[in-house]
Amino acid sequence: MGDIETPDSPRPQQSVLRFILPTKEFIFSRKGMLLIAEVVLSFITFVCFVASTAAELVTAPLLEFLAAFFVLFAYSSKFNERFKGFHWPLMDFLRCVISSIVSFIISISAVSKYSGGFSKAAGVFGFLATIVFALDFYVIFNDLADFLKQGGETNDETVRQQDYCTDSDSD
């Protein structure tokens, strides 16, 4: 009788799925939509490069896809909150900057050097991925700048309060 499940208790499969799948709040957040767009566009670019004559350019979109998918998983499962040793926004910023530059370069190469339809499609999707990566690093940069501005004001007030306390103790 101890094996009977109550309707309120989650099944083990459902708890695993909740851990793997992102929540609705995250999916519809700005960061969630940008990460999903990055994953989708990188994957489409990868598939187009696989089918094209520009197959030597396939590595970059594959790595961009895997990195974006990892970050999507890390943020959606709150993996980033458990590992405080990394500065996640800075790592995400660097990933976006590098991915946008590399995606732009391989898209120009695919459009200008190769004449096949899949190569042109890969270039177009690569340009779209470049725009999404650039938008993401712009948003991350603004968030980091706001964080640093707020941190600077808080530290100045704390230092002033500490200075005030030490001056009054010396009297």
* Structural domain boundaries, residue 122: 22-170
Task: Output the domain CATH number for residue 80.
Answer: 1.20.120
Is 1 a domain residue?
no
Average pLDDT, the chain: 80
What pLDDT was estimated at residue 87? Answer: 79
pLDDT tens digits along 10-35: 555 556 656 666 677 888 889 889 99
In-domain check, residue 127: yes
In a domain, 141, yes or no: yes
Residue 17 lies in a domain: no
Residue at 136 is within a domain: yes
Tokens of 73: 């998983």
Q: Provide φ and ψ at 45, rounded to 5°.
A: -60, -45
Residue whose tokens read 């660097």 = 94
Element (H, E) at 86: none
How distant, in Å, are the alpha carbons of 78, 154, 159, 167 from that of 46? 27, 45, 52, 64
CA distance 95 to 140: 11
Question: Which H helix or E strand runs over 169?
Answer: helix 117-170
Amino acid symbol at 84: K
What pLDDT, in 10s, does the model give residues 97-132?
999 999 999 999 999 998 888 999 999 999 999 999
Most confident of 6-10, 56-60, 146-150, 156-160: 56-60
How many domains is the chain built from?
Answer: 1
Task: Classify residue 118: in a domain, yes or no.
Answer: yes
Q: Is residue 140 part of a domain?
A: yes
Give residue-wise pLDDT tens across range 74-88.
888 887 777 777 778
Whether residue 88 lies inside any domain: the answer is yes
> How far is residue 131's CA from residue 100's CA, in Å, rounded to a whole number?
7
Q: What 3-state DSSP class applies to 54?
A: coil
The verdict on pTM exceeding 0.85 is no
